[in-house]
Amino acid sequence: MADFVPTPQASTPTAAELVRIEAAGLEKLATRLEGPMRDTFARAVERIVEAVRTRRRTIVTGVGKSGLIARKIAATLVSTGTPAQFLHPSDALHGDLGVVTAGDVVLALSYSGETEELLRLIPVLPRLGATLISITGCTTSTLASASAHVLDVAIDREACSHQLAPTASTTAMLALGDALAMEVSARLDFKPRDFADLHPGGQLGKRLVTVRKLMHTGAEMPSVPPTATMPQIIHEMSAKRLGVTLVHTHDRLLGILSDGDLRRLLERNGPHAFHKTAGEIVNHNPRTIPPETLAIDALILMEQRKITSLVVTEEGPHGPTAVGVVHLHDLWEVAPEAPASESTEITEFAEVQEGGDPSTTSDDGEQEPEFPGIPDDEPGHEDEPGDDGRL
């Protein structure tokens, strides 16, 4: 016997129609934010910002479905730099109200504005010195009347065909909470790197790791003085295993040498290459990045330029000073994918930093040094990985 498949009633809204009901509620909220609620919303944002700057918190509270939305709003505030905490009204009434201190903001969610547990908190909050901000669908409710700022999330209808289950109303609450969190975050000048500090785990944290946390520094950073001989250069490259060595004085970066540069030098100049010093063959225009560059951006640059190491520099009193070297393999560990759509900004940045002529770059992406007395009519060669997979 074939399975029975019930036929929807003609009056039952389709899934798409239900989504449109919720979208209509959001559109109404957006119109309100652009018009009659604009100033109120701005004052609510300012009050939360003030709380953050005075080392106070935003306590978010609600019951039932509104309570679930309140938890999400608190989590969003915390992850975007605003100290916040969810507090269930029942717990607050039985001792946990002690978490609320003078200067805190209490953000209360109730569509009706008449939730009993919330109303029992109202007389206590002024004595604690907290500011009450409400998110409600009834601006004449008891909760709204007791609030310093009222954020209206009224909708025309719920997506529930019986108008019972909170659906469009909770969606509007969530959207308004997101808007609050994003506006406060912007006012606090919250940066992607701040976000990374709060999200060290998972893909979000990995995508926001900076080069500073990955670069090789100190004794791990390959470096030779301009007087270094060819054997000394080769020894430093082999010992540090990054495929490059910096050439610099104690306070100034002079340039860089890659093992690809050395191979081309030997191919072109033969045994005479061993009489050269680092200062004579150095590439004076290496591609450099600041230490706060995101790892994903550094990876994009390396893949575009077909290079395996980048010099990390900071501006010193006598010009750029090398503070580290980052290798392609270091970046693969935290940024395994480099979307092409993200590459434009870092490409433009790198071209400004390197300051060299793109026409003189070799196949491995390093700028071709102009070696004295060496013909430059032979093409460069792609670098080949060594036994350890590095150049």
Three-class SS of residue 86?
strand
CA pair distance 350, 355, nearest whole angstrom: 9
Q: Name the domain count of the chain.
A: 2
CA pair distance 238, 207, nearest whole angstrom: 31
Q: Kindly state whether residues 151 and 36 are assigned to the same domain.
A: yes
Q: Kindly state whether residues 228 and 173 are assigned to the same domain.
A: no
- Give me the average pLDDT of each 10-residue run along the chain (391 residues): 48 86 97 97 98 96 97 95 95 92 98 96 96 98 98 95 90 98 93 67 70 89 91 91 87 85 87 87 87 87 86 81 87 63 40 38 42 36 37 33
pLDDT of residue 388: 36
Q: Which residues contact 298 (CB under 8 A, 6 or more apart)?
A: 211, 289, 310, 326, 331, 346
Nearest to 77 by CA among 103, 97, 107: 107
Q: Kindly state whether residues 145 and 226 are assigned to the same domain.
A: no
Boundary-marking domain end, from 190, 222, 254: 190
CA pair distance 390, 326, nearest whole angstrom: 12
pLDDT of residue 126: 95
Question: Is residue 7 included in any domain, yes or no?
Answer: no
Find out whether 215 and 292 touch, Cβ atoms under 8 Å: no
pLDDT of residue 116: 95
Q: Which residues contact 62 (CB under 8 A, 6 or more apart)?
A: 68, 69, 70, 89, 108, 109, 110, 115, 118
Q: Kindly state whether residues 162 and 219 are assigned to the same domain.
A: no
Count CB neighbours of 285 within 10 A: 18
pLDDT of residue 145: 98
Q: Kindly state whether residues 21 and 166 are assigned to the same domain.
A: yes
pLDDT of residue 180: 98
Q: Kindly state whether residues 26 and 148 are assigned to the same domain.
A: yes
Q: Kindly state whether residues 129 and 216 are assigned to the same domain.
A: no
Q: Kindly state whether residues 157 and 217 are assigned to the same domain.
A: no
Question: Is residue 317 included in any domain, yes or no?
Answer: yes
CATH code at position 132: 3.40.50.10490
Q: Kindly state whether residues 90 and 174 are assigned to the same domain.
A: yes
| DSSP bridge partners of 253 | 248
Number of alpha carbons in the 13 Å side-chain half-sphere of residue 311: 29
Find out whether 123 and 132 touch, Cβ atoms under 8 Å: no
Question: Is residue 388 included in any domain, yes or no?
Answer: no
Q: Kindly state whether residues 166 and 120 are assigned to the same domain.
A: yes
Question: Is residue 368 included in any domain, yes or no?
Answer: no
Question: Is residue 1 included in any domain, yes or no?
Answer: no
Find out whether 322 and 304 touch, Cβ atoms under 8 Å: no
CA pair distance 96, 307, nearest whole angstrom: 57
pLDDT tens-digit series, residues 216-241: 988 898 999 999 999 999 999 999 88
CATH code at position 308: 3.10.580.10
pLDDT of residue 284: 86
Q: Kindly state whether residues 179 and 232 are assigned to the same domain.
A: no
Question: Is residue 138 included in any domain, yes or no?
Answer: yes
Name the CA dihedral angle for 155, 158, 159, 165, rounded to a multiple of 10 degrees: 140
Question: Is residue 389 included in any domain, yes or no?
Answer: no
Could you list the residue range(s) of the whole structural domain that residue 283 is in? 211-360
CA of residue 367 relative to chain centroid, distance = 31
Boundary-marking domain end, from 124, 157, 190: 190
Question: Is residue 4 included in any domain, yes or no?
Answer: no
Q: Kindly state whether residues 182 and 229 are assigned to the same domain.
A: no
